[in-house]
A and B are shown apart, each in its own frame.
Chain A
Amino acid sequence: MRWLARLRMRIQMLFSRGRAEARLDDELHDHLERQIAENLAAGMSAEEARFSALRLFGNPALLREQARAAWSWAWLELLLRDVRFGVRTLARTPGFAAIAILVMALGIGVNTAIFSVVHHILIEPLQFSQPQQLYAVWARSDAQGQSHIAASGPDFLDYHDQSTSFSAMAEMIPHFTVTWTGDGEPRLVNCAGISDDFFAMLGVHPYMGRFYNAGEYARLESGMIVVSYRFWKNQLQSDPHVIGRVIHFEDTAETIIGVAPPMPDLLPDTDVFPTLTTRPSWPYMKWRGNKFLTVMARLKPGATAASASEDLTAILRRAPGEPADVRVELVPLKDDLVGGSRTQLRIVMAATALVLLIACINIAALLLARSARRGAEIALRVSLGAGPRRLSQQFIAEGLILALSGGALGVVAAWFGLRLIGRLPGLSLPRMEGIHLDGVVLLTTVGVAIATTLLFGWAPLLAFSRSNLSPALRSGRTETGRSHRRSFAWLVVAEIASSVTLSVCAGLLLRSFWRVEHVDPGFQPESMLTTYLRTNYYSPEGRRFWRDVLTGVSALPGVRSAAVADCTPGRDAATATLVFADRANDPDHAPPTQGCWTSADFFKTSATPLLRGRFFSASDDADSPPVVIVNAEAARLYWPGENPVGKRIGVNYTGAGRVSKAAPRMREIVGVVGSIKQGALDAATRPAVYMPYLQDETSHDMATMSLFVRSSGAAPALADGIRARIHAVEPDQPVLSLQPITDLMAESLAPRRYSLSLLGAFAGLAVLLSALGIYGVVSYTTQQRTREFGVRIALGASRGSVMSQVFRQGLVLAAIGAALGTGGALLATQALSRLLFQVSPLDPASFAFAVVLLAVIANCACLLPAWRASRLDPIKALRTE
């Protein structure tokens, strides 16, 4: 029962401390009295007896403390006292406390938000069972310069039937659209066609109802449909009785049999999952060269990706018409989904980490500066008997207060930051659904901040344990200033170096952005509207629709010209290959080109200059001789030094969704136009050919095209009129929003804009923090040298020379930091080179900009301390010593 007694004792000690302490004092006092009495009896004088007893007794306060330590609650009491004391001292310097807490909150907030996003996208496993077994299957041929080649229907069947490495394999058409009619205004619905093993391969189960059965996959038109969770929730109003409901897509009626579960990582925009049958299948699924299918597979347990890839490579090489060096690659599904965002995310992550580093350095510098000013206080406490452990406990308590308030505020900042990132318009990152504040990340950043605070809150004590107390007591400052100042200065140098590195990176991105914005797109995007029109013709029957739409829209007042084309300038164009009439053709190395089917007024509408020959005219129709216009880049590449007009070429389509129905006809080149940027503005200009849409000879004839309208006045005002003219031709035609083409182009630059603004913001933050650091170190040392400056001024130094001394110190720090930062930037910008556009990673302007910026900031930061030093009243300065 001893533990019970002990517990009782402890609890007693916790609640009746006041009495216990009074008793302890009594006890010690009694002891002292007895000692004095004994000394008196031994013949000492009264005073001597008392001093001798006290000497023997030692430090009463310390003794009390040591006895109390045995009461087992001492640590709690001390902690509380330290916390109270810490809050008081911090409240005495509210500026310092506010800045430290704010810097910490910013560092933690920004880092947690961004690392959470990056961690979710790059590192967290996909939300499927055994996600590491899931792979995307792509072919590549280095000889043809093609990677990421999709599969054709026959390719997939070969893989599926002959390979032995997979437990399941599925093909899909990840994105196409159909029109949903019969429920209000016709709407476009995003489809992902899936083959029969798709859901089983992923290992997911229906949210409601069921998935397709084998019988439904054995018919081309099953009349059944599985919808996505998103579609069910948003478009079908979470209808609990949705199973069995019939919805109409164009001219088919489909019965809903199931709702797929939420799959945030895969196909997030899909509304419905129609069947993609393999046997029987549609004609376009039977063409060996029609490579447009995405293949995914789940590895058998025990099989390796390398052996499976060998397996598939062998299968594909047996197929007719494949290049000899073709290889099949298995890309882990997560990497495949994350794709091109990886580089950007990593750069952002590195920049964020740098910001955290700078924030930590700043906190450290602030703490160091502060503790240096507290020399007298610490010396007093040491001489009153505070041991190093007690002192460090107190500093730790103070650090903890800072770190915990900063951390708490940081969590709030991170939460808001994450919500902000989730809502940024046009930020197209994969796996954005389900992003959440990451606990591990949060703990890590808060941990780093706390560790910094504690480390640097405590470090100054090391200097004190060596220091001689009496001068510190007398003058209120310590003799350790020198080493102190130096470590402090190095911190600031590190901070400046990081800022320079970030500023250089931001400068390079800024210049790239400027270059991209000022690139010549080959057309005039202003006053140009466009919309994407999807019909269901796929045959010459559609000619009437397009012709009527063009006639109607062209007649609208305010429309200068209108055209249709199956490519969008500044955005996309299908890929084709060229066949030449005037030279030998190597089918294995057919020259690639962008191809576009246009109406006669396309170049007039886009305002693209004609360089040679003529534009198309109304007489270039289905029955006239086939013609083609090439761009300047194609002319330069394929007819160097020659006039291409009059030459004859064929254009062969093999790509996704667009396949030549027969051997291409030979066409006469009738004109050369300026090169339009058919891809993003920052992509290289590629050769392109344009042909009259009435002469379309591909599987996609008349199916989908974009309408382009050049207006004489304000373009958006025309949108309603255009929509009305289209509906006058075909009331059921869905019309997506009519967008200024400048908006589309801005969208394609969104990732660039985000990288730029993020890095720019980080660089700005870093520069600001560095300014704070320089200001801190300079004003701290200036204060330390008050007496020296006083003497100098008293001896006749001019105010100017004092000022220049202060400046010199700050500028030396800035110069060292800038030199180191430039070195760091030389390394960092190499990693950035993929994001640069027509700007060298060693761009002198960006480097100069960063260095000059830092120099200016450093000067500004020195201004106040220097001014203060020059205003010193020498009498006062000397007297305070």
Chain B
Amino acid sequence: MGKPNDLVQGTLDLLILKTIFLEPKHGWAIAKRIQQVSGEVLQVQQGSLYPALHRLEQQGWIKAKWAESETGRQAKFYSLTAAGRKQLEAETANWNRLSAAIDLVVTEA
């Protein structure tokens, strides 16, 4: 079921880590936040989001906690772990280098 708008897996990981960098968020909020901040360009499909969240949790980069949400319902909140912070730094640096390089190629060539 290939979807052309799917984000590249590594990129989605980076986006998720970045989104919960400041405060813990639940799944829906993460998807919404990415959508908003990107100006509705990046649509995160649930089919990609939840496997990615569970994978990051398995990796030990994020941890989850059930807590009461703003609507008063129980929701699963994801937050960064120490390892997750390091991973975020590494991936951000990586991304900057890569996007700068692509930018160079695209504008100069």
Which residues of A are in contact with B by a Cβ distance under 8 Å?
Answer: 2, 5-6, 9-10, 23-24, 26-28, 30-31, 33-35, 56-58, 62-63, 66-72
Contacts and interface: CB of A to CB of B under 8 A. Distances in A.
Contacts, number: 63
B46 interface: yes
Given A6-B58, A71-B54, A72-B58, A30 B26 contact: yes
Contact of A58 (B46, B53, B83): B46
B57 interface: yes
Contact of B28 (A34, A66, A72): A34
Nearest to B66: A23
A2 to B, nearest CB: 5
B58 A71 contact: yes
A30 B28 contact: yes
A70 B59 CA distance: 10
B16 to A, nearest CB: 13
B95 interface: no
Contacts of A31: 27-28, 31, 46
A9 B50 contact: no
Contacts of B53: 67
Nearest to A35: B28
B94 interface: no
Contacts of A62: 47
Given A23-B76, A70-B54, A63 B60 contact: no
A30 B55 contact: no
A78 B54 CA distance: 18
Nearest to B76: A27
Interface centre among B54, B60, B73 (most CB of A within 10 A): B54
B74 interface: yes
Contact of B50 (A6, A33, A34, A63): A63
A57 B47 CA distance: 8
B26 A70 contact: no
Contact of A27 (B50, B58, B59, B83): B50
Smallest CB-CB A-B distances: 6 pairs: A70-B54, A34-B28, A70-B55, A67-B50, A5-B60, A66-B51
Given A58-B47, A63-B47, A9 B57 contact: yes
Contact of B54 (A2, A5, A33, A67): A67
B75 interface: yes
A68 B51 CA distance: 7
Contacts of B54: 67-68, 70-71
Contacts of A56: 46
Interface in B43-76: 45-47, 50-51, 53-55, 57-60, 66, 73-76
Contact of A30 (B58, B59, B60, B75): B75
Nearest to B26: A30
A9 B58 contact: yes
Contacts of B31: 31
B57 to A, nearest CB: 7
Given A9-B57, A27-B50, 8 more contacts: A2-B83, A6-B58, A28-B50, A30-B27, A34-B28, A35-B28, A57-B46, A58-B47
A69 B51 contact: yes
